[in-house]
């Protein structure tokens, strides 16, 4: 059977009513699931817009955990970019000089932060900072993967390579209002495709390739002349 491919450009012109404009959302950290954990499990801090990584005067390590809620993204959203902004932060002591680099890694600790999450396994290493963050970090691949796997949250941990320098002083970085900025296009849920049916043979299958939706097969037998219609879900 003869097949024809209609170009994406042609289809886009025919789909004048389909909105595929990009949307950008700035997500604040979910305070109910974000916080910091001390290495000996003696303290778990949640419910604040300030999050800590470093050590304390008792020479205990502190790790920072952040959760961003992805459930507000529409099903089938095509994420084009995601940036984690940690630039709003303050240093106390000399954490980068005394505790080494700060590691950013993806984790999955679920719906609540507990003492045991201090050592929860890393899902994905993202990067290391040698000094206080001054620009947003591109985390597009990690966020896209998490969303495509069906997870409704993106979670990260920040920790220094050394737990403490044992000097009895605070060495820490405190993050205030970290954000995750996501740009996406919503998947098309329905559309009407039009073409001149007279250019195709009776019963011929026409392949319409739509950006963000994949390919749908439409047979010209059961439609009115000049118009081919198909709902895409």
Domain ranges in the chain? 4-20+188-222, 23-185
**Domain 23-185: CATH class, spelled out:** mainly beta
pTM: 0.75
Residue 54 exposed, middle or buried by CB count within 10 Å (0-12, 13-18, 19+): buried
- Give the chain's residues under pLDDT 70: 1-19, 187-233
Distance CA 177, CA 85 (A): 9
Pairing of strands 205-210, 4-6: parallel
Write out pLDDT tens, residues 160-201.
999 999 999 999 999 999 999 999 998 654 444 555 555 555
């Amino acid at each position: 059977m003869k097949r024809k491919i209609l170009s994406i450009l042609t289809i886009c012109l025919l789909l004048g009513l389909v909105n595929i404009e990009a949307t950008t959302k700035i997500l604040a950290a979910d305070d109910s699931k974000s916080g910091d954990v001390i290495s000996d499990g003696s303290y778990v801090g949640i419910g604040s817009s300030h999050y800590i990584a470093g050590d304390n005067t008792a020479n205990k390590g502190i790790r920072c955990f952040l959760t961003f809620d992805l459930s507000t993204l529409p099903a089938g959203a095509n994420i084009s970019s995601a940036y984690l902004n940690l630039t709003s932060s303050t240093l106390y002591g000399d954490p980068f000089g005394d505790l080494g680099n700060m590691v950013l890694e993806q984790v999955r600790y679920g719906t609540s932060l507990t003492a045991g999450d201090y050592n929860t396994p890393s899902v994905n290493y993202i990067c290391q900072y040698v000094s206080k963050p001054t620009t947003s970090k591109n985390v597009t691949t990690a966020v896209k993967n998490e969303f495509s796997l069906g997870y409704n949250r993106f979670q990260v941990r920040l920790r220094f390579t050394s737990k403490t320098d044992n000097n009895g002083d605070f060495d820490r970085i405190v993050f205030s209002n970290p954000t995750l900025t996501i740009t996406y296009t919503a998947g098309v849920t329905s559309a009407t495709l039009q073409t001149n049916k007279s250019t195709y043979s009776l019963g011929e299958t026409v392949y319409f390739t739509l950006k963000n939706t994949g390919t749908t097969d439409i047979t010209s037998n059961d439609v009115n002349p000049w118009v081919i219609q198909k709902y895409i879900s």
